[in-house]
Amino acid sequence: MSLASGRDHLAIPGPSVMPERVLRAMHRAAPNIYGGELVDMSDTLYADLNRLARNEEGEVVIYIGNGHAAWEASLCNLFNRGDKVLGLINGRFGLGWVDMAASLGIDMLRLEGGSEEPVDPARIEALLREDRAHDIKAVMTVQTDTSTSIDNDIQAIRRAIDAADHPALLLVDCIATLGCQPFDMQGWGVDVMVAGCQKGLMTPPGIAFAFIGPKAWNPDVRPDLRTPYWDWVNRVTTPVFAMRFGGTPPTHHLYGLRAALDMLFDEGIDNVWRRHRMLAECVWCAVDAWQMEGGLRLQVPEPGHRSLAVTTVCSENGAATALREWCETETGVTLGVGLVATPGTNTSDDLFRIGHMGHLNPPMLLGTLASIDTGLKALGIPHREAALEHTTQLLARLIAERGLR
């Protein structure tokens, strides 16, 4: 017997909870793909995706695929075999993108920041200053690394590149963060950004995006890694609707995405970011309030280095896995597995992740935190009392102050 027989709550860092409005928009008969409503509706998606990313002067391509597809598409369209690229690593996702680039034949320079803090932008600047011949073609980084929940300061990375007076492009993976936390492609000088639909954009996994800023958009240059299917020039310039997708469009995903973007703009993107910040602060408050010898702690010590979309929690003696399994069976909350930052290992029994991205409000998040609190008691995992009391006091304060922040 368990109490899990209500609505299941998925608190993993992607795919995130799918809103009814998105699901309803997808529940329809197959549309014509050669003209009519789908084609007209899709035009609005490109404009609104660029509005969301603040890339109004650039281009955006929709690929059928997951985040990994957008990773590969961005690399293929920008580089030749043997090009030198600087990759920042502070977790499994930064590492995954860098490894993919290396396996494509790109000459990767790796800057590791460890698993608790971002790479220091001063190290980026120093490395670029040494590259007097300007061999390094680009700097690539994740905004949030979803394994460690480290957040990189993208503006600081751009400042480091500029301070070195280096022409390298800046490539950013916002797969975890687009629609969750501030991002301004143009304002921050990002040249290429990749994202998926299943995290902050609340749409079932299946489509991904490459945003291309003016400096990275060179339709007359053909890098030798570019293959016909991923070719973003064809996809942007084709007059044939289906060929924007390299074939049959992802019809129902497009309707789902339309509904998701409507939800984000109806709420107001600044409010969406503010909501994510307030909910993230509740998670940090609860974990800090539980913390004691032998119990849980946040993986990222410095609040300014933490993601607003996901939080990684560390434990001892395998408590994370025990807690995750207890919450799933006994309460119906699914927490994210712990992904280890270093290669060679995979999941860890002393890490779990709380996804707080997308379609999420206080009852959903407080329910998750209260389930964890109950699990700590049920399993005898060391923790301090009254963490939920601290958290709701903080939330009340944040709500009272929201106009000022």
Ligand X SMILES: *Cc1c(COP(=O)(O)O)cnc(C)c1O
> Which residues contribute to the site for ligand X (CB under 6 A)?
14, 66-68, 93, 142, 144, 146, 173, 175-176, 196, 205
Q: Closer CB to ligand X, residue 199 or residue 235?
A: 199
d(Cα 22, Cα 43) in Å, to the nearest integer? Answer: 18
Of the two residues 119 and 319, which places its CB atom closer to ligand X in the complex? 119
Q: How far is the CB of 60 from ligand X (least distance, A)?
A: 17
Least Cβ distance, residue 198 to ligand X (angstroms): 6
The residue at minimum Cβ distance from ligand X is: 67
Cα dihedral angle (89, 177, 347, 351), rounded to 10 degrees? 100
CB-nearer residue toward ligand X: 272 or 370: 272
Residue 141 C-beta: closest distance to ligand X, Å: 10
Q: How far is the CB of 335 from ligand X (least distance, A)?
A: 16
Q: Which residues contact 309 (CB under 8 A, 6 or more apart)?
A: 13, 144, 146, 176, 177, 180, 181, 199, 200, 276, 280, 355, 356, 357
Smallest distance from the beta carbon of 184 to ligand X, in angstroms?
18
What is the spatial distance between Cα 372 and Cα 327, in angstroms, rounded to a whole number?
7
Shortest distance, position 338 Cβ to ligand X, whole Å: 15
At position 372, the amino acid (one-letter code) is I
Q: Which of 322, 355, 257, 276 is nearest to 9 (CA)?
A: 355
The amino acid at residue 114 is: G
Q: Measured from the CB of residue 93, what is the shortest distance to ligand X in angstroms? A: 4
Q: Are 370 and 327 in contact (CB under 8 A)?
A: no
Instruction: Between 136 and 180, name the residue whose CB sits nearer to ligand X.
Output: 180
Cα separations in angstroms, 7 against 28, 124, 225, 364? 24, 46, 46, 11
When the beta carbons of 73 and 142 are compared against ligand X, the nearer one is 142
Q: Which is nearer to ligand X, 141 or 371 (CB)?
A: 141
Tokens standing for residue 78:
């920008």
Residue with structure tokens 């600044």?
A: 270
We find the least distance from the C-beta atom of residue 267 to ligand X, in angstroms, to be 22
* Residue 273 near residue 181 (C-beta atoms within 8 A): yes
Do the Cβ atoms of 145 and 110 come closer than 8 Å?
Answer: no
* 229 three-class SS: coil
Do residues 177 and 308 make contact, with C-beta atoms less than 8 angstroms apart?
yes
User: Which CB, 198 or 315, lies closer to ligand X?
Assistant: 198
Phi, psi dihedral angles at 350 (to 5 degrees):
-115, 30
Cβ closest to ligand X, residue 96 vs residue 332:
96
Per-residue DSSP letter, 309 = S
